[in-house]
Amino acid sequence: MIAWTIYITFAGAVVLLFAPRFLTRWIALASTVAAFATSLIAFFQMEIVDLTYFKTIVRVPWVPMQGMEYHLAVDGISLTLVLVTGLTAVSAVLFSWDVEHRQNEFFFWLLLVVGGSYGVFLSADLFLLFVFYELVIVPKYFLIAIWGSTNKEYGAMKLTLYSFFGGALVFIGIIAAYVSAGSLDLQELAQFQFTPQLQSWVFPVLFLGFAVLAGIWPLHTWAPTGHVAAPTAGSMLLAGIVMKLGAYAALRVAINLFPQGFQMWKTWIAVLAVIGIVYAAAVALRQRDLKFVIGYSSVSHMGFVLLGLATANVLGVSGAVLQMFSHGVIGALLFAIAGRMVYRRTHTRDLDELSILGLSRAMPFAAFAFVIASAASMGIPGFSGFAAEITILIGTWKTYPLAVWITGLGMVLVAAFTLRALRKSFFGDSQSTDSSSYEPITLAEKLGAGLLIFATLAIGLYPRLLLDRIVPAVEAMRFLNP
């Protein structure tokens, strides 16, 4: 039944093309909520035992003579990511309630991104996975180029070309895997023994291709500019879902199919990940635009995901999956506050200008939400960020002790830039006492923010809710015992 997340979302998108204008928001909300509800029901209904391996849910021949199948499957890892997709999608629609310009089109592209992401997370066929993966790119371009702000066409084009570059690398890798193994089925491929010589070049090509979308240093530069240029919902989807696509596919395809290649290259991944964590945090410290700060923080947080994957042990990889969920929720929340609550009302994101506005008094709810989001982002215990990052670091300690020390420095930097942004944006030296000049925070915004805050708290306080499902699925993967 979890397959219905895909169908509901795409059906919503098609209906939107023909729907009258006054209904568009409601249709978008209805389809995202329905898809999210479907994934929640699946989450609570499916036995944990069933989530330990990549279990087929739909399997229909598609192009039989080429071995392509419409094949969907789910395990604990997919389910976690489907959940965060649903969460982000619902809140992204809520935070786009004020979009007036070309509304139908806006929600159409938005739903395509969401539907394609559901598809990637549930695909058990390499070809199908790539179809969904590429399907997400063009809608992103339009979302940013039409509805974005600051330098939007540049940001949109840069993001798109980076994505296509990654896609081209992935394409080579997929064809090489397909031609060598004669199959596209992920379950079958995971059993196939590729020659070490093939693994040594296909793995880095595939991994790098996917990691571009996960914001790996030094191919991360699309992320800050793209996030800044995007409309609020666009940044939320980018941070919440799209960056996860890359990380998820890197795990599911590159690492799982080419374990020996992974062993050869994992140290390099760890090095790039650590550089990404520290470098992005340091850059974020120097930014003046609030969205740039958050954009670089996304790169830094995704560095943790890559570091977790590079550990090649259960703890590290499970932590990486948890971090994907956690950062999806926190990143979306941060962008929602910066883009919708603050920027739409003050029309500035410059930290110096914000600091004299005294926003904590003018928008108490926004300030409250931003404090929580910042705390979660810094990795304060009790929020999901802490649970995820501590798991990753424990996992890393076993493989790369040095990386933990350097990452520790990165975490200090994360705390520093987060606190700086928090102080400047909301708790600056207020000179204006006029607190009623901004329109009040709407119900839709409160609901959206509440949903995300609830998610990060719930997982922060009870991480086993997800970890119980993630860990067995990770244990079933092949790279642990190549």
Partner 1 sequence: MNYLELLKLASPEAVVTVTALIVLAIGLMSARGARLCSGIAAAGLLFAVAAVLELPERATLFHGMLVITPLTSLFKIICLTLAVFTVILARSDKTSRHHGEYLALVLLATIGLMLLVGSEELLMIFIGLELTGLSLYVMTAFDKTDIRSAEAGLKYFLFGSTASAFTLFGLSFIYGTAGATGLAAIGEKLTAASVQPLLFAGIIMTLVGFAFKIAAAPFHLWAPDAYQGAPVPSAAFIASGSKVASFVVLGKIVLVGFGPVHGSAAWHAMVAGWMPVLAVLAALSILIGNLVALAQSNVRRLLAYSAVAHAGYTLLGLVAGGRDGFSATLFYTTVYAFTLVGAFGVVAIVKRQSGSDRETGGDDLTNFSALWSRSPLLAGCMSIFMLSLAGLPPLAGFFGKFYLFSAALRAGENHGLLWLVALALFGSLISLYYYLIVLKVIFVDEAPPSTPTSTISVDLLQRISLSILAGVVVFFGIMPGTLLTRIIASVQ
Under the criterion CB under 8 A, does residue 60 sit at the interface with partner 1?
no
Under the criterion CB under 8 A, does residue 58 sit at the interface with partner 1?
no
Please report the DSSP string for 84-142 in residue order. HHHHHHHHHHHTTTT--TTHHHHHHHHHHHHHHHHHHHHB-BHHHHHHHHHHTHHHHHH
Under the criterion CB under 8 A, does residue 54 sit at the interface with partner 1?
no
Under the criterion CB under 8 A, does residue 168 sit at the interface with partner 1?
yes
Contact by Cβ (8 Å): 54, 75:
yes
Size of the site for partner 1 (CB under 8 A): 30
Kindly tell me which residue out of 11, 23, 58, 146 binds partner 1, with binding defined by CB under 8 A: 146
Mark the segment that binds partner 1 (CB under 8 A) among 136-144, 216-224, 339-347, 447-455. Answer: 136-144
Q: How far is the CB of 181 from partner 1 (least distance, A)?
A: 12
Return the number of the residue (165 or 438) whose C-beta is nearest partner 1.
165
Tokens coding 157:
């084009």
Kindly tell me which residue out of 47, 179, 218, 433 binds partner 1, with binding defined by CB under 8 A: 179
Nearest to 229 by CA among 150, 157, 298, 344: 150
Q: How far is the CB of 6 from partner 1 (least distance, A)?
A: 13
Tokens coding 316:
């590290």
Under the criterion CB under 8 A, does residue 11 sit at the interface with partner 1?
no
Q: How far is the CB of 226 from partner 1 (least distance, A)?
A: 15
Q: Give the separation between CA 324 and CA 316, rounded to whole angstroms.
A: 12
CA count, 13 A, side-chain hemisphere, 216: 25
Kindly tell me which residue out of 157, 314, 415, 419 binds partner 1, with binding defined by CB under 8 A: 157
- Tokens 């035992």 belong to 49
Under the criterion CB under 8 A, does residue 171 sit at the interface with partner 1?
yes
Q: How far is the CB of 146 from partner 1 (least distance, A)?
A: 5
Return the number of the residue (49 or 179) whose C-beta is nearest partner 1.
179
Structure letter (DSSP) for residue 66: G
Kindly tell me which residue out of 20, 47, 65, 101 binds partner 1, with binding defined by CB under 8 A: 65
Mark the segment that binds partner 1 (CB under 8 A) among 133-141, 261-269, 325-333, 452-460. Answer: 133-141
Kindly tell me which residue out of 20, 64, 218, 401 binds partner 1, with binding defined by CB under 8 A: 64
Give me the 66-95 binding string for partner 1, x by CB under 8 A, dash otherwise: x-----------------------------
Under the criterion CB under 8 A, does residue 63 sit at the interface with partner 1?
yes
Under the criterion CB under 8 A, does residue 172 sit at the interface with partner 1?
yes
Under the criterion CB under 8 A, does residue 458 sit at the interface with partner 1?
no
DSSP reduced 3-state for 61: strand
Return the number of the residue (50 or 134) whose C-beta is nearest partner 1.
134
* Bond prior to 218 in cis (omega within 30° of 0): yes
Mark the segment that binds partner 1 (CB under 8 A) among 26-34, 63-71, 86-94, 319-327. Answer: 63-71
Under the criterion CB under 8 A, does residue 14 sit at the interface with partner 1?
no
Under the criterion CB under 8 A, does residue 165 sit at the interface with partner 1?
yes
Under the criterion CB under 8 A, does residue 161 sit at the interface with partner 1?
yes
In degrees to the nearest 10, what's the CA dihedral of 115, 325, 28, 75?
40
Return the number of the residue (80 or 160) whose C-beta is nearest partner 1.
160
Q: Give the separation between CA 17 and CA 31, rounded to whole angstroms.
A: 14
- Tokens 């690492």 belong to 255
Mark the segment that binds partner 1 (CB under 8 A) among 29-37, 154-162, 343-351, 412-420. Answer: 154-162
Axis crossing angle, helix 464-475 with helix 76-94, rounded to the nearest 10:
140
Kindly tell me which residue out of 8, 137, 421, 470 binds partner 1, with binding defined by CB under 8 A: 137
Q: Give the separation between CA 85 and CA 436, rounded to whole angstroms.
A: 35
Mark the segment that binds partner 1 (CB under 8 A) among 139-147, 301-309, 423-431, 447-455. Answer: 139-147
What residues form DSSP beta bridges with 72? 58, 123
Return the number of the residue (62 or 368) whose C-beta is nearest partner 1.
62
Kindly tell me which residue out of 1, 14, 41, 175 binds partner 1, with binding defined by CB under 8 A: 175
Under the criterion CB under 8 A, does residue 138 sit at the interface with partner 1?
yes
Contact by Cβ (8 Å): 343, 229:
no
Contact by Cβ (8 Å): 319, 379:
no
> DSSP alpha helices (H): ranges in 337-363?
344-346, 351-355, 359-362
Q: Give the separation between CA 238 and CA 89, rounded to whole angstroms.
A: 11
Under the criterion CB under 8 A, does residue 1 sit at the interface with partner 1?
no
Contact by Cβ (8 Å): 3, 58:
yes
Which residue type does 80 have?
T
Q: Give the separation between CA 110 and CA 28, rounded to whole angstroms.
A: 9
Kindly tell me which residue out of 40, 56, 134, 442 binds partner 1, with binding defined by CB under 8 A: 134
**Main-chain phi, psi angles of 74, to 5 degrees:** -145, 140
> DSSP alpha helices (H): ranges in 383-431?
384-399, 401-426
> Residues interacting with partner 1, by CB under 8 A?
62-66, 127, 130-132, 134-135, 137-138, 141-142, 145-146, 153, 157, 160-161, 164-165, 168, 171-172, 175-176, 178-179
